[in-house]
Amino acid sequence: MPKGLSQTSAPLVISFQVGESLVNTFTQSQIDVQLNVLDREVMVVTGVDIDVLPPDGVPGVNTRVRASVSTTSRTTVGDIADTNVLASARDDIRSANYLDSGVPFSTKFGETPAIGMAYLNIIATNNFFAQIEGNNNIGATGMTGRVYCYRAVADAATFAALVQSELLSA
């Protein structure tokens, strides 16, 4: 258990899905976790699973689907270099200069804590966000996901530091 926190729930799973509002258009969805901030309640994230729909196989055209889950609102799909991103996923089909539908590639990052770490991140505000965006696809794409977590109460100093850190990472 992280210092300054007391676990108040059993492990939880929060499932979500996000679809592009238009083809190849950044779309974000806010997922409410309904924390009791007056009692300094936080969400300790122990894992994230992201599943993106595959990009379209278009002969001669590189296509892509990117997705991320973040603690604060974003204007672009993030990656693990961004401090507010919990996890990211990317599927590509590379087919430029080919007459067939190309070669697929998949990458995922930040889904579980590093070895020796008890958690992935701590959400100190009432929500988290999921982002999706396709590139050169024929149809709109989407993602589904799960956040594995538990609720905890933070002492006053820890809660203030967590909220400030989360808001400054936006």
Domain locations in the chain?
Answer: 5-168
Q: Specify the DSSP element, H or E, that contains 165.
A: helix 156-168
Q: Do the Cβ atoms of 139 and 56 come closer than 8 Å?
A: yes
Tokens 């990656």 — which residue? 79
Determine if the pTM surpasses 0.75. Answer: yes
Q: Per-residue confidence of the chain (170 residues) as pLDDT tens digits?
A: 678 899 999 999 999 999 999 999 999 999 999 999 899 999 999 999 999 999 998 888 899 999 999 999 999 999 989 989 999 999 998 887 766 666 767 776 666 666 778 888 999 999 999 999 999 999 999 999 999 999 999 999 999 989 888 887 76
Instruction: Report the candidate in 160, 148, 112 with the shortest Cα–Cα distance to residue 14.
Output: 148
Q: Specify the CATH number of the domain 5-168.
A: 2.60.120
Residue pair 84/46 in contact (Cβ under 8 Å)? The answer is: no
